[in-house]
Chain A
Amino acid sequence: MRFVDEFRDSEKARALAAKIAGLCEPGRQYKLMEVCGGHTHTIYKHGLEDYLPEQITLVHGPGCPVCVIPMGRVDDAMALAAEPDVIMTSFGDMMRVPGSNGSFFDAKARGTDIRMVYSPLDSLKIARQNPDKRVVFMAIGFETTAPSTAMTVLRAAAEGLPNFAIFCNHVTIIPAIKAILDSPDLRLDGFIGPGHVSTVIGCRPYEFIARDYGKPVVVAGFEPLDILQSIYLLMLQLSRGQSIVENQYSRVVPWDGNPVALRAIGQTMELRPYFEWRGLGFISHSALKVRAEYARYDAEQLFSVPGVRVADPKACQCGEVLKGVLKPWECKVFGTACTPETPIGTCMVSPEGACAAYYSYGRLSRTRVKEASRT
């Protein structure tokens, strides 16, 4: 067996893998979902699936914020960027995400004023420096980035900055997990819980998964050994017929999350009745919008946003990949029409997208290629 990328503790990994194998019931298949795109990246980069017995399949979840932005919202953002005197600002990850009329990069090349920023606070600075312009920040991400947007809105309000607004596309992870649990397409045995999102929301929000659905959850760190350790903890629970929430990443994730961050989100944003996710469709109470008290910082109130729903390209199967129904290589256009250089679907755009991660690393593993040719 050849490993994609031998890591420092590969001996420890093999020892853990042996313990994991020892917990497998003969004849039983296990499907474990890693929710977070950062975990997907580690799994492919280090070929972790090659350490696991064939009975265990890792299923990649929807936790890549760039991947779940639907085309209609990209088009809405482009329409905002094209408004007179607007400077659109965006994280770099978002720049290549295709809408129905190209990406931010394409629009920038056509002369639209779209600027890449590292932080929403950089957008705030651009607004201060350009008082005759209206600066819009394309706010995306799960609970990891939502507090930063919230703090920036609070800062803009404290300064009374008149020319700054956010186009809010923040999504929340719990409803997406629930949608997957309720989906008839997929039977999962347990969840590797997201790391950074949990530094904000803590571990309690996952308790319903263990209690109501009887599935174990282990919040995990990002190193290869963290993930293997979490799989071991999941398998240990399954072998005992147990389902609880455990925190493998307690060195970073507090059980109750970050109360200051949660307060900032709650102060400036509220849940939308529903929101469209690429591939997953409309999910109730799964996204955030700006509260009415902060309407002057809400681009959806200040501008007219088309809000047209745009269907994904027919060839694209990101939806199935995001739900874990398809592996990246099973998509019809994977690696042929759709590559990181010319992505059709969002899963190929972000380095945390399952397709991009598999394209970069997974293909190099002989085991995985063998598996790909079997399917």
Chain B
Amino acid sequence: MCLGIPGEVIEFLPDQPDLARVEVSGVRRVINVGLLSDDLPTPGEWVLIHVGFALSKIDEQEAAAALEFLEGIGQAYEDELAALSDSQIE
């Protein structure tokens, strides 16, 4: 729950400007980007995701570092990724 997961923005959903499809560790999922409405990310940019919401924009290097940290955590990250995979935000 507290883990910030880096995801790369792939595209915004048509008709739903608050929702974006992102790629997280090879899994594509829809997340809410409404909290970044002051400075929306563009496709190709990276965001840190908390419980289905992008909370901050990060650069690719930070994304790689965050991912390495998460992979080191092991089980908790796997649980979070499994939960994210089951998530169907719309």
Q: Report A's interface with B, CB cutoff 8 A.
A: 5, 7, 37-38, 41-42, 45, 64-66, 91-94, 116-122, 125, 140-141, 144-145, 147-148, 151, 196, 199-200, 222-223, 251-254, 258-261, 264, 351-352
Contact = CB atoms under 8 A, between A and B. Distances in A.
A351 B75 contact: yes
A276 B89 CA distance: 32
Interface in B55-90: 55-56, 58-59, 62, 65-66, 69, 72-73, 75-76, 79-80, 83-84, 86-90
B49 to A, nearest CB: 9
Contacts of A258: 35-36, 55-56
Interface of B: 1-4, 32, 34-38, 48, 50-53, 55-56, 58-59, 62, 65-66, 69, 72-73, 75-76, 79-80, 83-84, 86-90
Interface centre among B37, B38, B56, B65 (most CB of A within 10 A): B56
A199 B56 contact: yes
A199 B48 contact: yes
Contact of B53 (A151, A223, A253, A351): A151
A42 to B, nearest CB: 8
Contact of A260 (B34, B83, B87): B34
Given A91-B1, A121-B87, A141-B1, 5 more contacts: A92-B1, A92-B79, A118-B80, A125-B90, A261-B35
Given A118-B83, A251-B62, A259-B38, A65 B2 contact: yes
Given A65-B2, A125-B90, A223-B69, A252 B58 contact: yes
A147 B55 contact: yes
B51 A91 contact: yes
Nearest to B77: A351
Nearest to B79: A92
A123 B88 CA distance: 10
A47 to B, nearest CB: 13
Given A119-B89, A351-B75, A145 B1 contact: yes
Given A151-B35, A260-B34, A352 B55 contact: no
A38 to B, nearest CB: 6
A65 B1 contact: yes
Given A118-B83, A122-B89, A145 B48 contact: no
Contacts of A120: 51-52
